[in-house]
Amino acid sequence: MAKVVAEKGLKGLEEINIVVGTPIRPMLAERLSSSQEIIDKVGGKMSLEYKLDGERLQIHVKKKQVNIFSRKLENITNHYPDVSSIMSEINIENIIVEAEAVAINKENGSYLPFQELMHRRRKHKIEEAVKNYPISINLFDIIFFDNEDLTDSSYERRRKILNSIVKKNKKLDIVKNKIIQSAEEIDNFLEQSIEEGCEGLVIKDLQGTYRAGAREYLWIKLKREYKSEMSDTLDLVVIGAIYGKGKRVNRYGALLLAAYDKEEDMFRSFCKVGTGFSDEQLKIIYEKLQKCIIKDKHAMVDSKNGSRCMVQTKHSIRNHWI
């Protein structure tokens, strides 16, 4: 590229075309710390996507020949023979898609932590690793499709093309998304993503193009740890636990917490928390709360969320803290 600029100037860049099989620098996301900041920055309708805890893959297919590149543009095709097999079955002459590969539980299909996926990054016994650590292939963008460069197309159009590909190929998934236009919807979808074992959200401008190598506000990352509304600590009590999904299946993905109202002698639900826990901590929390299950909401608990599928705990009684 430097040679092209030196010989032909900036206009020479217009002559550079995408070549299937040659990696492209990935588009990157900026970050903001609140849903309202995102609304102010993007405005109007936008797409919320789950941010999965996996490895980003750039997958090139040309006449059934598959090449897979990492975020750092390394050729990692050999680590994903199962992805190559599935993508080679697509009845499209040439295509470049981006996907998140996530390790899954062989028994129930739930998401596993990123560290499990890294067992595939080995030089030997790759077939064994593929067998022991199956993955789901979650498409989230498309850069090139049937001889057409899509980098100047809107995200909205690119997403529609992705949907059509997934409908025809049942072995592929597409990252879950939702079109919204309010801060409250962002917060609600963020909580949902965390309960289902994801890292957070990526918010995308529906009219945004694909800016290879750029980090811009056309894509915005949002995680709970980015939020900074509270600077003090609180003493809260666990009054309920909600089963998780994804990599948190069969354990609690979020806890309902309450604050003690001294004047009314009641515990009033205050918030739900689902981030900041390690896998080991989640295991310990689940095991401990199994001993505390009670049939109905305690009489001293005031919770507007009581109708949800929650397991209440006997430690919601005054002066019992978890």
Question: 11 an active-site residue?
Answer: no
Burial annotation 138-165 (CB, 10 A radius, 16+ → b, else e):
bbbbbbbbeeeebbebebeebbebbeeb
Burial annotation 265-287 (CB, 10 A radius, 16+ → b, else e):
ebbebbebbbeebeeeebeebbe
- Who's near 47: CB < 8 A, 6+ residues apart? 155, 156, 159, 177, 178, 179, 203, 204, 206
Which of 237, 247, 140 is CA-nearest to residue 193? Answer: 247
Q: Would you say 305 and 188 are in contact if contact means Cβ atoms under 8 Å apart? A: no
Query: Cα–Cα–Cα angle for 232, 201, 162, nearest 5°?
Result: 180
Q: Which residues pair with 311 in a beta bridge?
A: 241
Burial annotation 191-224 (CB, 10 A radius, 16+ → b, else e):
bbbbbbbbbbbbbbbbebbbeeeeeeebbbbbbb
Q: Residue 21 and residue 23: Cα distance in Å, rounded?
A: 6
Catalytic residue (one of 3, 41, 45, 51): 51
Q: What amino acid positions are annotated as catalytic residues?
A: 51
